Amino acid sequence: MPMLLPPFDQDTPLFRGNLHGHTVHSDGEKTSMEVMNFYQDLGYDFIALSDHLWDDVSFASTTINDTRDLDRDDFVTIPSAELHCLGKRYDQDGLWHLVANGLPLDFKMANRDETVTQMISRAREAGAYVSIAHPEWYAMTTDEAIMASSAHAVEVFNYSATIESGRGLGIGTADILLHEGKRISFTATDDAHFRSQDAGGGWIMVGSDDLTSSSLVDAIKDGRHYSSTGAEIHALLMEGDALHVSCSPANHIIVSGIGYAALSAQGQNMTYADFDLSSFASPYFRITVIGKNGQTAWSNPYWLDQLR
C-alpha cells in the first residue's frame, strides 16, 4: 500500500517560517515590527523572534519578547527565546544556546545553577519545541550533544553562523544523536540579527492544519516539516521497500542512514528519484536534496519501525 511520508501525508498546506531570530529586544538591530515586515515581504508565513533570555543585558533580555500584537490573518509569530545556562565548554561565556519555540510568556530564564538537562526539561514541560542551536558554531562535543539530547531537534543549518564564521552546519551532531538512537528532528534557521545580510537563508516548511502559533508548534513537534536553504521536497512516497522522492530540480538526491549507509542519485536537474531500501541496513533514513547551485533541503529522519 503506497504511503506518503510527513509532512506530505495529510491534506494540509506547507507554511514557510524561521524559528530563530533576534530583535532590539535583545541584540538584534531591528524592531520586532521591522523584522516581521522583512520576512513577510520575502513570502514567509511565520517567524519566531527568539531573543536571548539571560541575565547579561549587554546582549540578552530577562523577559520573553511578546509579539502577539504583530499577528495577522496571513502571518503569525511564535513566542520563543534563545535559552542560556552555564556549563558549555567551548564558549567564551560558558553558555549553552538552545532555541525554544512556543514558550509561555512568563517562562523564566535559567538561574546560574540550572543545568542544560534541567533547562531543556523545564522548557519541554512548558510546551516548547526545543532545538540545539548552531552546534558547529561553538564546537559542540559529542559528550555535550548527548547531554542535550532530550531536545527535540538539532539545527542542521544556521545561516548567520554560515556566512559570518563558516560554522553553520549541524548535520554531524544530528547524525551522532541518531546513531545513539535519539529520535530527533532537523531545523534550518537564519539566526538573523540584521548586523549583516543574515536573513532569508534557512527556513522550514511546515504542514499545519492552520496558520496559528499553537497549530504550527504542534505540527513541528510531530516532525511535520522539512528544512531548506532553497531546494524543495515535493513528495516522499513509500511503496513496500521502494522510496520515491519528488523535488525541485536537483543534481544530487541522497538517502542516508546509520554508519556509512547511503544511496544516491546523480544527474542534472533531476526532479524524481527511486530508491530500493530492501537491503538498506539502517533503522532509519533521511533524505538530502542538493540543487545545482548548492541549495539544499533536508527531510527529518524516518524510523522504519514507525513506518511499518
Over residues 139-146, the mean pLDDT reads 98
Q: Return the amino acid letter for 50.
A: S
Sign of the alpha-carbon torsion through 188, 153, 16, 75: negative
Secondary structure of residue 39 in the 3-state scheme: helix
**Domain end position, chosen among 185, 211, 228:** 228
Question: Do 73 and 129 belong to one domain?
Answer: yes
194-209 pLDDT tens trace: 999 999 999 999 999 9
CA dist 91 and 251 (Å) reads 37
Read off φ and ψ for residue 292, nearest 5 degrees: -60, -40
59, 208: one domain? yes
Please give the Cα distance from 63 to 26 (Å, whole number): 10
Q: Is 86 helix (H, G, I), strand (E, B) or coil?
A: strand
With cell 542538493, the residue in question is: 290
Per-residue CA distances from 29 to 20, 35, 76, 159 (Å): 15, 9, 21, 17
Residue 147 predicted with pLDDT over 90: yes
Rounded Cα gap, residues 190 and 20, in angstroms = 6
User: How many structural domains compose the chain?
Assistant: 2
Give the whole-angstrom CA distance, residue 23 versus residue 37.
13
Query: b/e map of 141-159 (b: 16 or more CB within 10 Å)?
Result: eeebbebbbebbbbbbbbb
Q: What value does the mean pLDDT take over residues 263-286?
A: 97
Enumerate the β-bridge partners of residue 303: 284
At 308, the pLDDT band (50, 70, 90 cuts) reads confident
| DSSP conformation class of 21 | B
What pLDDT was estimated at residue 151? Answer: 98
pLDDT at 1 over 90: no
Segment 168-197, tens digit of pLDDT: 999 999 999 999 999 999 999 999 999 999
- Residue 303, all three cell numbers: 524510523
- Which residue, among 243, 241, 239, 240, has the nearest Cα to 264 in the 3D structure? 243
pLDDT at 275 over 90: yes
Residue 133 lies in a domain: yes
What value does the mean pLDDT take over residues 292-302? 98
- Residue 24 is predicted with a pLDDT of 98
Q: What is the pTM of this model?
A: 0.97
User: Quick check: 276 pLDDT over 90?
Assistant: yes
pLDDT digits (tens, 9 = 90+) for 94-130: 999 999 999 999 999 999 999 999 999 999 999 999 9
Same domain, 224 and 237: no
> Which residues does 118 contact at the CB level (< 8 Å), separation at least 6?
85
pLDDT (mean) for 157-175: 98
% residues pLDDT > 90 (the chain): 99
Last residue of a domain, one of 211, 228, 245: 228
Q: Please give the Cα distance from 79 to 101 (Å, whole number).
A: 6
Q: Are residues 248 and 181 located together in one domain of the fold? A: no
CATH of the domain at 265: 2.60.40
Left if phi > 0, otherwise alpha if psi is -120 to 50, otherwise beta: which for 206? beta
Asked if residue 120 and residue 41 are part of one domain, the reply reads: yes
Residue 225 phi/psi, 5-degree rounding, is -160, 165
Residue after which a domain boundary falls, among 228, 255, 287? 228
Same-domain status, 140 and 41: yes
Look over the chain and give the mean of its residue pLDDT values, rounded to a whole number.
Answer: 97
The stretch 66-90 carries a mean pLDDT of 97
Q: DSSP class of residue 68?
A: G
| 210 and 243 co-located in one domain | no
Q: List the Cα angle 261/264/265 in 5-degree steps.
A: 170
**Which helix H or strand E contains 189, and what residues bound it?**
strand 185-189
